[in-house]
Structure 1
């Protein structure tokens, strides 16, 4: 079984509550001003601490950006875990995972803000330099798919391949949400997944 990436390991293991107020303050500033225009002084002011205290926690703005990114990824994972059903068959759960994954991406406020106001900062990380992000998404999804129950019979799909397709499709939908594939309507997204995604990866389901 492939090992998960170090970044995914960090996302899954780092406590959510670590520096909660400070990271919430940084996130709020990023949403209000964008990452490039947010100063460490502004983050400290919102958190109710001195800049010196902030710098003792994080040596640079890049460090706090990384911490906020990990925290957002933790929220992303938590949202998927909350939405995925535990009492359905494996094919239904695969659909649930896909819908939860694209819904969480489409609804991420910080990502939408950066795509709208700081595309030069975020677009390279989501396109030409998106390999690490895709790897984290693929590793996480593959682990979820391997854990699906065999209630629908022997599994006839490759979890890594299905995870790769799901991660790439979700990333594409995040970058270009307008189109025929439903993103905001969960029931429509489920129907799309059942009729299009599952057959595409070799899974036959009843209509």
Structure 2
């Protein structure tokens, strides 16, 4: 199994308990104004603290943006884990991982906001500089898929390859959501996954 990247280790770790209100305030401001137009003063005002107190917790807005991003990723991971936990059977879990991952990425409010109002900030990280983000998504998904692969002896597929396909599909859908692949209708998304994803699993055919 490949090593877990440090950023993924941070995402999977427990969030800092004392910064929740600050991160909530920052996310709220980012959704209202975008990242560029949000000042540390506005975030401090929403959090009910002084700017000096905010700067003692986060030395720069870049540090705060990173913390918000990590927290959003933690929520993203928790959402997938919670949904998969209630599903029995490796194939159904594989489908649910796919639907949860795709819908969470393509429907993330902050990502949608930045793509609409600050594309110069976010687009390079999702296109020409997307290698690290794809690697992060692939590593996380491969770990989840490897759990399925190892839990049932009759399931045989390449977790890394399926994770790569899922991560790249999520990237494409986040950038261009309009198309034939359903991302808003989860029932249709599950049917799509059964018709397209499961046949990639070695030895599986749909009927």
TM range (shorter): over 0.9
Q: Aligned partners of 2:16 and 2:107: how far apart in 1?
A: 20
Structural mapping, 1:178-189, within 5 Å: 178-189=178-189
Q: How many corresponding residue pairs?
A: 207
Equivalents in 2 of 1:122, 1:68: separation in Å?
A: 15
Cα distance between partner residues in 1 of 2:31 and 2:203: 41
Partner Cα distance (1:82, 1:37) in 2? 35
Counterpart residue number, 2:111: 111
2-structure distance, mates of 1:36, 1:151 = 46
Matching residue of 1:30: 30
Which runs of 5 or more structure 2 residues have no equivalent in the other structure? none
Would the aligned equivalents of 1:89 and 1:149 in 2 still touch at CA under 8 Å?
no
- The 8 Å contact of residues 157 and 201 in structure 2, kept in 1 or not, is answered as yes
With normalisation by structure 1, the TM-score equals: 0.94
Write the distance in 2 (CA, Å) between the matches of 1:119 and 1:77: 25
Listed one character per residue, the Cα deviations across residues 6-48 of structure 1 (whole Å, up to 9, x for unaligned) are 1101000132634100000000000000000000111111101
Q: What's the CA shift for 1:150? A: 6.0
Q: Distance in 2 between matches of 1:37 and 1:120?
A: 14
Separation (CA, whole Å) in 2 of partners of 1:41 and 1:205: 57
The TM-score with structure 2 as length reference comes to 0.94
**How big is the shift at 1:116?**
0.5
Report the counterpart of residue 91 of structure 1 in structure 2: 91
1:156 corresponds in structure 2 to 156
Q: Is the 8 A contact 1:156 1:203 kept in 2?
A: yes
C-alpha contact (below 8 Å) 1:91/1:152 kept by paired residues: no
Tell me the residue number matched to 1:190.
190
Question: Counterpart of 2:148 in 1: which secondary structure?
Answer: coil
Classify 1:203/1:55 alpha carbon distance in 2 versus 1 (closer, same or farther; 3 Å): farther
Distance 1:94 1:17 in 2: 32
Equivalent position of 1:42 in the other structure:
42
Provide the residue aligned with 2:168 in structure 1: 168
Instruction: For residue 148 of structure 1, give the secondary structure of its aligned residue in structure 2.
Output: helix
